[in-house]
Amino acid sequence: MNEDQLKQLVEQVDHRQDELISLLEKLVRFKTPAPPARNTGDAQAFIADYLKSMRFDVEQWELYPGDSNVVGELKGRDSSSYKSLIINGHIDVAEVSEDEVWESDPFTPIVRDGVVIGRGTADMKGGVAGALFAIQLLQEAGIELPGDLTFQSVVGEEVGEAGTLSCCEKGYTADFALVVDTSDLHIQGQGGVITGWVTLKSSQTFHDATRRNMIHAGGGLKGASTIEKMMKVIAGLQELERDWAVMKSYPGCPAGANTINPAVIEGGRHAAFIADECRLWITVHFYPDETHEQVMKEIEGHLQLVAQADPWLRENPLIFEWGGSSMIEDRGEIFPALEVDPAHRAVQLLAQTHEGVLKTPVIQDVSATVTDGGWFGHAEIPAAIYGPGDLRNAHAVNEQVSIQQLVDYTKVILIFMYTWTHTKK
């Protein structure tokens, strides 16, 4: 295919944008909110059939009952000589609360005024639809890519369930991975997130009536409320957070984006007891050049110093639990960070393609949120985030995506898939 033929193929995105919108509408109609999750079966069956119709070899496996990953592989005609590519997207969408006031049912899409409205349009069924439609156009044109193309439709991203990690563990790899999640057509890396529980337990349990003996001079009873002692832990976390804001930075991240959020506190039995156990659930955001193991170690080390300064905490050690595989199953999650190398050939090609289609320089920055992109960094697969939709609409009531941006994105990803898989190793 020469340059003029590729240009004509890209023009088909404009001529057939109704088909692209129709595909997005079909995906939105599948009700896949997480939580509650365990509801992606029909949507994943649709994507599996779609990929099979385009000659992909498809593997599907269950991550949790009712939620399975779908991976399609299209082997290139000269895989050993040309670059390979993974396109990755999640099929689950943000939850919808009963009290949210939508124009209509969130899973009945509305097309009007240049946008598509519906849950998942921005995050991130728009990205999935555009990538699938681009592949369809390449297939219909009879183009046989020389490099391998893998399409991953994963589950669990919204609730910290690592569908993408499962793909990596099964051995799916490539010379580059593109996560087509919400980025407003910026090329992005991301910081990471880890949740953790800090627990205080008293070695003894006391009646509420003994409180006077614990807090007044000469009371003679060494004890404490774990709720009150947790206040010292929270104060210690605030001190560390302020230190991070002053002493750490990363290009493209606003100052202080590395935060420690005391999200949930649970403690005490009932009013007749001194609280003998208290648990604090924290969410930690860290920079792209850090690891979750590193920030865990820093937090534990700082809080141990806080504890050493308190006579009761010295004798009642802090208990730490970090991460988890699901916010639903075990109330924990890990999203590794992703650093994007601007000098990587695929990143440069994506930037050139964006600028060629949109006639404007691409923005390369760091996402304010997290995606599955970090799992590729964790697996040492070069990757970037690039997709339609913006964070103002992700998870929002009347979530929507711009049709023009969806069309532009589809053109970019079509050219990028074609060109990267025609790039010699």
Q: Tokens standing for 170?
A: 């099964």
Q: What are the distances in angstroms from CA 105 to CA 28, 34, 110, 342, 391?
A: 11, 17, 9, 41, 21
118-135 burial string, b = 16+ CB within 10 Å, else e? bbbbbbbbbbbbbbbbbb
pLDDT, tens only, 34-60: 999 999 999 999 999 999 999 999 999
Residues 6+ apart with CB under 8 A from 421: 76, 82, 83, 84, 85, 145, 146, 147, 148, 149
- Cα torsion through 59, 62, 63, 66, rounded to 10: 130
Residue 17's pLDDT is: 97
Mean pLDDT of 264-268: 96
Is 0.75 topped by the overall pTM? yes
Mean pLDDT of 139-165: 97
pLDDT of 248 higher than 90: yes
Residue 217's pLDDT is: 86
Instruction: Quote the CA–CA distance of 374 and 359 in Å, as a whole number.
Output: 29
pLDDT of 377 higher than 80: yes
pLDDT, tens only, 188-230: 999 999 999 999 999 889 999 899 888 888 888 888 999 999 9
Residue 397's pLDDT is: 97
Mean pLDDT of 381-400: 97
The H or E element spanning position 69 is strand 67-74
pLDDT of 382 higher than 80: yes
Q: Would residue 4 show up in a list of annotated catalytic residues for this protein?
A: no
The domain made up of 3-190+338-420 is a member of CATH 3.40.630.10: yes
| Residue of 92, 175, 181, 276 marked catalytic | 92
pLDDT of 275 higher than 80: yes
pLDDT of 1 higher than 80: no
Mean pLDDT of 8-24: 97
Q: ∠ at Cα 223 (221, 225), nearest 5°?
A: 140
**Closest listed residue to residue 416, CA positions, set 191, 187, 182, 157:** 187
pLDDT, tens only, 283-336: 999 999 999 999 999 999 999 999 999 999 999 999 999 999 999 999 999 999
For residue 170, the tally of other CB atoms under 10 A from its CB is 12
pLDDT, tens only, 328-347: 999 999 999 999 999 999 99
Locate the domains of the chain by residue range. 3-190+338-420, 192-322
Q: Tokens standing for 152?
A: 């991953």
Q: Would residue 161 show up in a list of annotated catalytic residues for this protein?
A: no
| Chain centroid offset of residue 128 CA | 15
Proportion of the chain in helix, strand, coil states, percent, rounded to 5: 35, 25, 40
Question: What's the alpha-carbon Rg for the chain, to the nearest Å?
Answer: 25
| Residue of 157, 161, 372, 390 marked catalytic | 157
Residue 214's pLDDT is: 87
Q: 192-322, which class in CATH?
A: alpha beta
